[in-house]
A = this chain, B = another copy of it.
Amino acid sequence: MTRTKTRDLIEEKADDLFYENGFEATSFADIADAVGISRGNFYHHFKSKDDILDAVIDRRLSKTARMLESWDADKLPKARILSFIRILLTNQTKIMAFGCPVGTLTTELAKLDHIAQSRAAEVFTLFRDWLTDQFHALGHGDESASLALHLLGRSQGIAVMASAYRDETYLRAEVTALEDWLDTVTTKLR
């Protein structure tokens, strides 16, 4: 198999496992098993566990950036924010089982006092800046940044509670509440 293919496969499986089982709880053996390669082969592609973590974070950063760009392409600001809110519904099953991938990873890395924590939080920054742009486009001026952070926090809270209780009704109700909030906030301007 070509280099990039195996590397990519490792990153993909590691990404999944870090999300579903946590970074600390995922061992080299777990990833190697999931990929179907030997443990030894591993070190040809990644020379340490932190190396894989870096790659997984990179992967998530570019995946997120691509998603935001695709929303930029064919939507209006308010619809874009709605797309963000509705990630909670799109990924409902996984979120109820494992929470938000971004929030849970940064939380875990904070506890581990891991150097990569701030890099993991950059995924949040991607969303935050993008959301700030959207609120700006809607004419919210200086408020835009705090609206973006507020929305990010609301989503995180929903993810935490939805997974704690595995409660779909709560999740849906809160998504609706967020959509209402967006309506209120965007119509308050005129």
Q: Does A32 contact B (CB under 8 A)?
A: no
Q: On chain A, which size bracket covers the interface?
A: 35 or more
A160 nearest in chain B by CB position? B156
Given contact pairs A111-B21, A163-B106, A164-B106, A153 touches B157 in the complex (Cβ within 8 A)? yes
Taking the complex as formed, is A89 at the interface, i.e. its CB lies under 8 A from any CB of chain B? no
Interface of chain A, main secondary structure: helix
Taking CB as reference atom, which chain B residue is nearest A123?
B164
* Chain B residue contacts of A82, Cβ below 8 A: none
- Taking a contact as CB atoms under 8 Å apart, the answer to whether A163 and B107 are in contact is yes
CB-CB under 8 A from A156, the residues of chain B are 156-157, 160-161
Interface 1/0 per residue, A143-171 and B, CB below 8 Å: 00010011011111110110111000010
Please determine whether B25 and A160 come into contact, CB atoms closer than 8 angstroms. no
Task: List 6 additional contacts besides A104-B107, A107-B164, A152-B157; criterion CB under 8 Å.
Answer: A22-B111, A97-B110, A110-B163, A121-B164, A121-B165, A150-B174
